Structure 1
Amino acid sequence: MMAILPWKELKREQVYKKYAWDIDRVDFLMPRGNKADFYINNARPAAAVVALTDNNEIILARQFRPGPGKVLNELPGGYLDPGENALESIGREFREETGYEGEFVEIGTCLDDAYSTMERHCFVATNCKKVGEPQDTDTEQTELVLMPLDEFRQQLRSGQMTDIEVAYLALDYLGKL
């Protein structure tokens, strides 16, 4: 059996850049001598949070997502702004999207997918308190959703959520799988 070896990068060219996305076309020399090109998303780091109320409800942001083309319940979160660390980012995103604040613990990181360099910081928030209303922007309108834990588990299996890897990591961390 042949060992899995890294590919040799031959050439990299930026083909698209907008917002948090920076797409490169990368030409590789494969270990067997053939060449192949791939498109790599060099997106900014992001953060997402599984947040619980004192009643053990999960705090979600319901919003339209352009990729799937539908309204989804999502874990609060988003891209880190330049100069922001992950904890600052998740606190800001959580307040903006839900109107809540909480106590955050970073429980790990995960990669977005095999064709992206984006690292997602995974958080759990407890002792969450409502301090205001969600703050809509020109490109994001959110509705606050409080979901019982059992319903949240069903939602994760429905295929109608993003960031489910963060959700399962958090449920494992909380001992609620």
Structure 2
Amino acid sequence: MVAVLALTVFKNVVLVREFRPGPEEVLLELPGGVVDPGETPLDAAARELLEETGYAGQVEFVGTSLDSAYSTMVRHNFVARECERVSDPSSAEHGLVEPVIMPLAGFREHLRSGRLTDIGTGYLGLDHLGLL
């Protein structure tokens, strides 16, 4: 698994709005997904960011974390700096996700609310960027 804290050139956070079956509601989340066979986590992070949002930027590895105490899966956490929209999101064709741009202050509030599924990536990314 990969997750990306992506910031635009104006320091806005790039999120995705997506329906999640567990809580049965639409959530605002960080872009991310699975690492395909033969793909590096870095390549997967850049691909997921582009597919889900249409944004691309300078992707950097931040660290790994456990995805769950009940699983051996690890999450590879990334930040993407200087992101710009370069295409339409390919996942939007299927109506799966919708990109959302949020000011950094609003993202911090969203992070503190506990409503973000990738809280670890959010905090690790902000710390890595000196923006906590």
Shorter-chain TM range is: over 0.9
Question: Which residue of structure 1 aligns with residue 102 of structure 2?
Answer: 147
Local SS of the residue matching 1:132: coil
Contact 2:3 2:78 in 1 (8 A): yes
Contact 1:63 1:140 survives alignment (8 Å): no
1:118 correspondence with 2:73 = yes
2:26 is the alignment partner of 1:64? no
Q: TM-score of the superposition, structure 2-length normalised? A: 0.94
Alpha-carbon separation, structure 2, partners of 1:136 and 1:66: 17
Q: CA RMSD in A?
A: 1.5
Structure 1 stretches lacking a partner, 5+ long: 1-45
- 2:44 alignment partner in structure 1: 89
1:164 maps to what in 2?
Answer: 119
Query: What is aligned with 1:32?
Result: none
Residues 140 and 119 (structure 1), Cα distance of their counterparts in 2 relative to 1, 3 Å cut: farther
Q: Which runs of 4+ in 1 moved over 2 A?
A: 136-140
Q: CA deviation at 1:82?
A: 1.4
2: CA distance between counterparts of 1:78 and 1:138? Answer: 17
Write the distance in 2 (CA, Å) between the matches of 1:117 and 1:138: 32
Structure 2 partner of 1:77 = 32
Worse-superposed segment, 132-141 or 155-164: 132-141
Larger Rg: 1
Which amino acid counterpart does residue 130 of structure 1 have in structure 2?
R
**Larger % of strand: which?**
1
CA displacement at 1:172 relative to structure 2: 0.7
How big is each residue's C-alpha offset from its partner over 1:81-137, in whole Å with a ceiling of 9 and x where there is no partner? Answer: 111110111111111100011111101000011110111000010121111111127
Aligned to 1:103: 58
Aligned-residue offset at 1:140: 6.1
One-letter amino acid of the counterpart of residue 64, structure 1: F
Unaligned runs of 5+ in 2: none
Aligned residues: 132
Residue type of the alignment partner of 1:153: R
| Alpha-carbon contact 2:3-2:45 (below 8 Å) kept | yes
